């Protein structure tokens, strides 16, 4: 059985991130609440450094390296948000970084990763293995390999999102019926579940995934790892991991109430609601949790539910199309 992170790891990560990560707001809209018949809270991680929650896990991992390991740098594979998180965290710590990115990654994510000083190695996501490429570079260079989700340090760092949600709800004297977070490999949602369930055992935690790429949902239902169809597509470019991680699936089985599959159309609607009612720019993958509630797949009537808007790195054309749709 692999060693899994616990709430103490999340709390230690919160200490390391103090003064480095932004404590993002937990937003509400009386208009939306009246429309839904419940209280909806949005954790605006799209306002985090680099525009997504990924900075938290990356910094928590890299800051624990000693001086010698830092000199060798860090390497990661990512479609964009983990790339930016690792690049920015490495820049904060004075480390070099190399990122393996798909050739079709959103232009804004590629540009931002370069702006943080990282070297980019492109690959074809449909014919090449990003893991193999990154592992080869790590062996040759001695750099620290930072997987996007299946790492105790990464999961603990992402869990600080859930810790902040639970602490703010407690400060506002709110009882959370449920928390929903987007899920690709599962680092964010399982990290959040660690924190939320430790503080509020009765709160249900759900993952949100794109339809057709809902490997966590199908894996939980079957009790074993299930992979996505390689031909499946979604506008949620940040949520395309083929299967849950070893660590994240073990945590999900223990902590999650389930996973909700959302359509691309419901994601576009969620992006528009986030913009119009909460004044947030949210990317497709970042809007999946909000889509789970707005689509009615998770009943909010008479309840208080918090959702994580996990990222805001979206190309202008795609964002414009979502609003117009």
Question: Based on the domain organization, do 87 and 215 belong to the same domain?
Answer: no
Q: Do 83 and 205 belong to one domain?
A: no
CB 14 within 8 A of CB 8: no
pLDDT of residue 110: 87
In a domain, 1, yes or no: no
pLDDT, residue 221, reads 95
Q: Which of 79, 111, 145 finishes a domain?
A: 145
Last residue within a domain, chosen from 88, 116, 145 = 145
Please count the structural domains in the chain. 2
Torsion angles phi and psi, residue 119, rounded to 5: -85, 135
pLDDT of residue 123: 94
Q: Are residues 66 and 213 in the same domain?
A: no
Same domain, 90 and 161: no
Are 17 and 120 members of one domain? no
Residue 2 lies in a domain: no
Quick check: is 127 catalytic?
Answer: no
Query: Does residue 22 sit in the same domain as residue 134?
Result: no
**Which residues form the domain of 79?**
55-145
On whether both 163 and 228 belong to a single domain, the answer is: yes
Q: Which of 43, 54, 109, 303 is catalytic?
A: 54
What pLDDT is attached to residue 88?
96
Question: What pLDDT does residue 29 have?
Answer: 98
Predicted local distance difference test score (pLDDT) of residue 79: 75
Last residue of a domain, one of 145, 165, 180: 145
Q: What tens-digit pLDDT sequence spans the chain (325 residues)?
A: 689 999 999 999 999 999 999 999 999 999 999 999 999 999 999 999 999 999 999 999 999 999 988 999 999 998 789 989 999 999 999 999 999 998 988 788 888 899 999 999 999 988 899 889 999 999 999 999 999 999 999 999 999 999 999 999 999 999 999 999 999 999 999 999 999 999 999 999 999 999 999 999 999 999 999 998 888 999 998 898 899 999 999 999 999 999 999 999 999 999 999 999 999 999 999 999 999 999 999 999 999 999 999 999 998 999 999 999 8
Same domain, 66 and 130: yes
- Residue 126's pLDDT is 84
Domain-located, residue 59 = yes
Give the chain as a 3 state SS string: CCCCCCHHHHHHHHHHHCCCCCCCCEECCHHHHHHHCCEEEEEEHHHCHHHECHHHHHHHHHCCCCHHHHHHCEEEECCCHHHHHHHHHHHHCCCCEEEEEECCCCHHHHHHHHHCCCEEEEECCCCCCHHHHHHHHHHHHCCEECCCCCCHHHHHHHHHHHHHHHHHHHHCCCCCCEEEEECCCCHHHHHHHHHHHHHCCCCEEEEEEECCCCHHHHHHHHCCCCCCCCCCCCCCHHHCCCCCCHHHHHHHHHHCCEEEEECHHHHHHHHHHHHHHHCCCCCCHHHHHHHHHHCCCCCCCCCEEEEEECECCCCHHHHHHHHHC
Active site residue 54: yes
Q: What is the CATH number of the domain that holds 140?
A: 3.40.50.1100
Q: What's the predicted TM-score (pTM) here?
A: 0.94
Both tokens of 217, joined, read 């949902």
């Amino acid at each position: 059985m692999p060693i899994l992170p616990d709430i103490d790891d999340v709390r230690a990560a919160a200490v390391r991130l103090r003064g480095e990560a932004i404590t993002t707001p937990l937003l509400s809209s009386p208009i939306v609440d009246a429309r839904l018949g419940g209280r909806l809270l949005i954790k605006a991680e799209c306002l985090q450094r680099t525009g997504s929650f990924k900075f938290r896990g990356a910094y928590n991992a890299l800051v624990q390296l000693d001086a010698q390991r830092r000199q060798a740098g860090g390497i990661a594979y990512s479609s964009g948000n983990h790339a930016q998180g690792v690049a920015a965290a490495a820049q904060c710590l004075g480390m070099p970084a190399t990122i393996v990115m798909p050739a079709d990654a959103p232009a804004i994510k590629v540009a931002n990763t370069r702006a943080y000083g990282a070297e980019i190695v492109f690959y074809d996501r449909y014919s090449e293995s990003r893991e193999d490429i990154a592992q080869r570079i790590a062996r040759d260079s001695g750099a620290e390999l930072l997987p996007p989700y299946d790492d105790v340090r990464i999961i603990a760092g992402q869990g600080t999102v859930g810790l902040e949600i639970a602490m703010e709800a407690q400060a506002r004297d709110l009882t959370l019926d449920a928390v929903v977070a987007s899920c690709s490999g599962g680092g964010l949602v399982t990290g959040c579940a660690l924190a939320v369930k430790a503080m509020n055992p009765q709160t249900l935690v759900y993952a949100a995934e794109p339809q057709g790429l809902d490997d966590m949902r199908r894996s939980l239902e079957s009790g074993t790892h299930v992979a996505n169809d390689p031909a499946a597509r979604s506008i949620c470019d940040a949520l395309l991991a083929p299967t849950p991680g070893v660590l994240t699936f073990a945590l999900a089985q223990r902590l999650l109430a389930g996973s909700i599959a959302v359509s691309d159309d419901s994601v576009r609607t969620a992006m528009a609601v986030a913009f119009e009612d909460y004044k947030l720019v949210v990317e497709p993958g970042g809007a999946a949790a909000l889509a789970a509630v707005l689509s009615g797949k998770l009943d909010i009537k008479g309840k208080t539910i918090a959702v994580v808007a996990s990222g805001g790195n979206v190309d202008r054309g795609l964002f414009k199309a979502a609003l117009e749709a």
